[in-house]
Structures are given as structure tokens and as C-alpha cells.
Chains A and B, each alone.
Chain A
Amino acid sequence: MDKTAAKEQLTAAATAHGEPAALVARRQAAFDHFAASRMPKMARFNFSDWDLFAKQPALTFTESTATPDLPEIKEEAIRLVQVGQTTVDVHLPKTWADQGVKLMDLFAALDQFPDLVADQLMAIVKPDENKLTAYHLAYLNSGVFLYVPKGVQVDQPVEVDLVQDSTVADREFNAHLLIVTEPGSSVSVLQHTTTLGTAANRASLMVEIDARRGSHVNFSSLDELGDQTLTYFKRRANIGRDAKVEWAVGLMNGGDTVGDMDSELTGEGGEGDSKLIAVTTGDQHVGINNRVTHHGQHTTGNINQRGVLLGKSHLVFNGIGEIIHGAHDANAEQQNRVLMMSPDCRGDANPILLIDENDVIAGHAASVGPVNPVQMNYLMSRGIPRPVAEHMVIRGFLSSVIAAIPAKRVREELIAILERKLTDGNL
């Protein structure tokens, strides 16, 4: 990489994009860190040779002309759709806007509400954590901002559709969803990530949630990026005093994916519930760290990860429950389970407990293996053919996470994708 040229390009592109000087400076600092630091590591999963950034990276903003089929929405629905770097639809009913709820393009938000956004962007995930977080801020080219003011209970799910534009090659997709929920508010977010087109491209996707005192965020994500997309994602919530964040992630990406789920229980009495399912097919490689860190006293953390492996795929689940010294009466539970549906796949489920306090409760369960033959035999003894029985057992195995997604439509969509993968996935 020609560092001087890259930094000049970055500065010029950010300035031309009309960004405030402070952000340009943060991007430059992030670039320096990116250029100097090493790739992050993950237990039992090596992705050091993945091309998660270009040899000569460039910050680009391209107007997307591709248009996805947008489903009709009801008058009361809340939705934002982005294709590549272009926000194509924002639907926020007046009743919510009047109460101060904001749902908008991240750069527009930086422009219009700098006080709410500027200091908050990458304050929870720090750019200098590693090479990839630094890269993300330096080359960030799309994003969404969701803000829920104090005490507002948003009773409609907020749908965020992020469509990667891979109708042409060399389109970077560095997208950031920033969510801030003020004290006592609540919101449920349905993120859907998809890919339009079949060109081979990268994706660097982040979600930051700042769940302030007593707020409640239910975040589900249906990730359905294309077979040709190489993905790095990081999703982290800062969970304040008596706040609660529930994650339900259906990781159905077609391409290689490495990602982190983090719940930081910083306030007393906070609660984090992190559920994730993944189905891997073909020769896909997927590695996930799902971490809950207990800083505050009386905090509750729960991790439940379930994976199904087909073909020659490789899936690693690391569940990390960490209790920091001083987090008295913390409760950290986790389970990581994978089902191996073919003799050629490789799966790993690693519970990792890091406990530095005495009066805490911690538990873990892990399993790696084929579908339960006793269950299979029972279903088949009622005449159900093997493939149908297998799908039933697998759906049952994943059900605790699927059931946690609040929208029926999304659950059904997830099940449809699952069925498709189970049918074609051994190829």
C-alpha cells in the first residue's frame, strides 16, 4: 500500500463529501492506526489471510442506480432502506418524529444533529481496537442513525434494510448502524442485510447500540449477504444501568463471514441476551465471537448460539462470558451448540468463561455432533421420511433463537431461507 497516496485520497474524498473537519481528522487518525496495526485474532478460527480490505484502499461514495424490490409498507410502519451508499426510502410516521425519534442517513444526521451523533459514532466500538475497526471508520461510506428520546416507547418495529450493491465489482460496503436509546425508552429494531448482484465484494458492517439507563432494545438481524460477499461484522451494545438489550441474529450469509457480538454490561442491574443462529453451506467459513462482559453489579448475561453445518463448511462459535472484578452477583450463562449434517464439515463450540469475582453465578453448555438419532428414529417411525424428519429436528434445534425474533414475517422469511439452505446446502 502507498500510505501517503491512500491518506491523501482519504482526506480529499472525505472533504469533498462535505464532512466536518473533526470527522476528517478522526478518519485520518483511524487510517494511521489501520496502516500500522495487525489483524485481530479469534480463538480457533484463522482469517488472517482474508482480503477484508483492498491492497490500495480508497474512500468512495457512489450513487447506486440499482433498485431493489421494496415491499409495500403500512402507513404506521417505520422503515429505512439503503442501497449501497444511497438512502432510497425513509418512512417515519409523524407521530414518532413529533416525539423526537430520529431515523435517518448517518451522514445527514452528522450534518443536522452533530451534538447527538459526532461524539457517539464509534464511541462504543473504538477505532483503535484493531486494524479492522480502524479501517471501518477510515473508510466508512454509509450508515443509519436511530435515536429514541427519553421515555419514548416505540411500539412499531423499526425496519432497517441494508442492501449491498454488488451489481458491479469494487464497491466497498462499509456500513454503520448507530442506535442511541435515552433513559426509559424502548425500541425494537429489525435489520435485514442483503446483496443485490453477484460481483465479489467486501462488507464491513457495524452496529453500535448505546442503551442508556433503563432503556430496552430488542435488536434482530436477518443477515443474508450474497455468496460472493466477504464479511466482517461487529455489533456491540453498551448496556447501562437497568437497561436491557436482546439480540437475535439469523446469520444466513452465503459467503465467508467473521464477526463479533458484544454486550457490555456497564451499569448495575443491566441485562444482555445474545442469541445467534448460523447455517453454513458448501465450503463456507464462518467464525463468531459472542461475548458478554459484566462490569456492573447484579448484571445478567445470556448467550445462546446454535449452528447447523452442511457440505464442507466450517463454523466456529466462541461464547465468551467475562465477569470483571467488582461485578458482584453477576449471572453469566451460555450455550453453544452445533449440528453437523455432513461428514466433511468442521464445527467447533467453545465456551470461554473469564471470571474475576467470587459471588457470581456462571454456567455453560456446549455440544457438537450429528442430529440426535433417537429423535430421528421417532419421527421416522411415524412415517415421516428422513429428509423431512431432519428438517424438523433442525428447525426445532434452532427454534429458541427463531422464536426470539419479534416479527412473524421475519421469522417466516428466516425459516424459508433455512429450508432452502438445508435443501441445497450440501453442494
Chain B
Amino acid sequence: MATLEVKDLHVAVTDDETKKQKEILTGVNLEMHSGEIHAIMGPNGTGKSTLSQTIMGQPGYEVTQGDILLDGTSILDMPVDERARRGLFLAMQYPAEIQGVTNAEFLRAAINARRAKDDQISVMDFIKKLDKNLKLLDMSESMTERYLNEGFSGGEKKRNEILQLLMIEPTFAILDEIDSGLDIDALKVVAKGVNSMRGDNFGSLIITHYQRLLNYIVPDTVHVMMGGRIVKTGGPDLAKQLEKEGYAGLRDELGLDIKLVDDEN
């Protein structure tokens, strides 16, 4: 069983124009194990994306306090590619487009990066795995020979992120607002993909605004983030409660002094 731990994590970003540092995460604590699906919900601007980007090691996020541990080892000093090879995966909101690199070529390179030099995936095994996953995600075979994300629609890009997830088979997948901009059919396909990964060797951290996605990917644990930290943790019912009462309701119930970005006053 693998473990991902976030301990008292404080993260700041620097404003490009004013050069002023602003603290976004103010002490996040989270522990999850493979075999579990966790959801993080929270209002806009509360630091959910900052948390996922920081776990993955994306540039521009400075950890000012705390630690992130994968199976007990701190990963803070590791570059993004090493974190990925150790089993982390972040499905992006805005994946890059790369002309001249086919989807298939990219997927093979990503799979092989996690395997030893003398144990690279064979063409036959790769194609078999690819075919199986394309089918599962209702994607056309032609997607694999297209250039990576180039000219893909929003929905195609999201599906392509999930295809990567299924091909790479990470230990922990962070899905950052994978539901945004998806119609209900695409949402179901994405959920089907993620659910197919469920098992003892896979954990996922799902970041979302809305409860709807969680009807299709039922989480074991739901965390609510406000003001840069996790303020409440519960079971799937917590998401349903939020859907009814809204974040302001929960804030007031917890007696928190946090201004929500979308507050009217």
C-alpha cells in the first residue's frame, strides 16, 4: 500500500506584476492511501488547484512551510518528471499542444520512462493496451496518430488526459477539475475511465467545484477546503450536504471567518 501525505503545507505564489508574495495554502493536512478515492471540494480561489500543482511539482509554487511525502519520503526537492516516475499523475485543466509529436509516440515515451532500459514495452503490448483503453473511453483510433492535443476540442483533451491515466497507470492520480466544460456524456466516459482504475494499487484525489462528478466517481472521503486549508472531512454525504447548503452554509456552521471570493458583500 502506497501513502501520500501532505503535512502542514503552506504555499505562496509571487504576483508577476507586483512581485509580491501571496500565501495561498495556509496549512493543509491530508493523508491518503492507494485503494482510496478522495475528493476535495471548495469554493473558487481557495487553493484547490494550488494544492494539486504543488503536489505534482509544477513551477511557480513556493512551499514556505510543511512537507509532501510519498511513502514516507519527501518529494519537495524532486523535479516534476521524477515525481511522475515515482507514481504521481496530474490530469491537467489546460494540457499543452505539441505539434509534430503524435499521441501514440508520447504515450509510449511516458510508459517507457517508468520502465527499465532493458524492459521497454513491446509494440504489440502497447497497441493492445492502447486499443483496450481507446475502446473504454469511446475514442477513435485516429486520435493516437494525431499530434498531441493539437486542434483537440475541450472534451477531446479531457478524454486524452484520462487515456494517459489509463496507459501510464500511476499510483496516485490528481484530477484537477476534470469535469469542467464536459457535457454529461463525456463526463460519464471520464468517470468510467477513472472507475476502471479503481483497485488496491490506485488512489485518486479528485478536485471539483460540483458534487455532480461524485455521483459517477463515488469517493471514500470528501474534504472541504476554504481559505487555503482543509476545514472539514467526511464521507460521500458531505458532498451532498454541500450541494444543498452551499459553502457559505458550511462556513457559518463551522464559525469560520473566511471571505468567499464570490460573496456579494
- Which A residues are closer than 8 A to B by beta carbons? 372-375, 377-386, 388-389, 392-393, 395-400
Known contacts A381-B81, A383-B168; is-contact A392 B110 (Cβ 8 Å): no
Residues of A within 8 A of B79 (CB): 380, 386
Determine whether the beta carbon of B110 is less than 8 Å from that of A383.
yes
Determine whether the beta carbon of A392 is less than 8 Å from that of B106.
yes
Determine whether the beta carbon of B58 is less than 8 Å from that of A397.
no
Determine whether the beta carbon of B99 is less than 8 Å from that of A396.
yes
Determine whether the beta carbon of B168 is less than 8 Å from that of A382.
yes
The answer for the CA separation of A399 and B147 in the assembled complex, in Å, is: 11
User: How distant is B140 from chain A, measured CB to nearest CB, in Å?
Assistant: 21
Known contacts A379-B106, A392-B105, A392-B109; is-contact A386 B100 (Cβ 8 Å): no
- B101 CB–A CB distance under 8 Å: yes
B149's closest neighbor in chain A, by CB? A378
18 new A-B contacts at CB < 8 Å, known A378-B95, A396-B147: A378-B96, A378-B98, A379-B110, A380-B80, A381-B80, A381-B84, A382-B164, A383-B113, A384-B113, A385-B81, A386-B81, A388-B109, A392-B105, A392-B109, A393-B98, A396-B99, A396-B100, A397-B100
Determine whether the beta carbon of B96 is less than 8 Å from that of A375.
yes
Residues of A within 8 A of B110 (CB): 379, 382-384
- B59 CB–A CB distance under 8 Å: yes
Known contacts A380-B79, A382-B168; is-contact A395 B101 (Cβ 8 Å): yes
Identify the interface centre among A379, A381, A396: most chain B CB within 10 Å of its CB: A381
Determine whether the beta carbon of A380 is less than 8 Å from that of B81.
yes
- Interface secondary structure of A, over-half rule: helix
The answer for the CA separation of A392 and B106 in the assembled complex, in Å, is: 8
Known contacts A380-B84, A384-B110; is-contact A400 B100 (Cβ 8 Å): yes
User: How distant is A155 from chain B, measured CB to nearest CB, in Å?
Assistant: 26
- Which B residues are closer than 8 A to A by beta carbons? 56, 58-59, 79-81, 84-85, 89-90, 92, 95-101, 105-106, 109-110, 113-114, 147, 164, 168
A–B Cβ pairs within 8 angstroms, 16 of them: A380-B79, A380-B80, A381-B56, A382-B106, A383-B84, A383-B114, A384-B110, A386-B79, A386-B81, A388-B109, A389-B81, A393-B98, A395-B101, A396-B101, A396-B147, A400-B99
Residues of B within 8 A of A375 (CB): 96-98
Which of B89, B96, B105 is within 8 Å of A377, CB to CB?
B96
The answer for the CA separation of A396 and B79 in the assembled complex, in Å, is: 23
Residues of B within 8 A of A399 (CB): 99-101
Determine whether the beta carbon of B101 is less than 8 Å from that of A385.
no
B107's closest neighbor in chain A, by CB? A382
Determine whether the beta carbon of B109 is less than 8 Å from that of A395.
no
Determine whether the beta carbon of A377 is less than 8 Å from that of B101.
no
Determine whether the beta carbon of A381 is less than 8 Å from that of B113.
no
Residues of A within 8 A of B97 (CB): 375
B115's closest neighbor in chain A, by CB? A383
The answer for the CA separation of A416 and B222 in the assembled complex, in Å, is: 51
Residues of A within 8 A of B80 (CB): 377, 380-381
User: How distant is B38 from chain A, measured CB to nearest CB, in Å?
Assistant: 20
The answer for the CA separation of A393 and B106 in the assembled complex, in Å, is: 10
The answer for the CA separation of A380 and B81 in the assembled complex, in Å, is: 5
User: How distant is A380 from chain B, measured CB to nearest CB, in Å?
Assistant: 4
User: How distant is A391 from chain B, measured CB to nearest CB, in Å?
Assistant: 10
The answer for the CA separation of A374 and B147 in the assembled complex, in Å, is: 16
Determine whether the beta carbon of B85 is less than 8 Å from that of A383.
yes
Residues of B within 8 A of A384 (CB): 81, 84, 109-110, 113
User: How distant is A108 from chain B, measured CB to nearest CB, in Å?
Assistant: 42
B105's closest neighbor in chain A, by CB? A392
Identify the interface centre among B58, B98, B164: most chain A CB within 10 Å of its CB: B98
The answer for the CA separation of A375 and B100 in the assembled complex, in Å, is: 12
B56's closest neighbor in chain A, by CB? A381
User: How distant is A403 from chain B, measured CB to nearest CB, in Å?
Assistant: 8
Which of B85, B95, B101, B114 is within 8 Å of A393, CB to CB?
B101
Residues of A within 8 A of B89 (CB): 382
Residues of A within 8 A of B114 (CB): 383
The answer for the CA separation of A395 and B84 in the assembled complex, in Å, is: 23
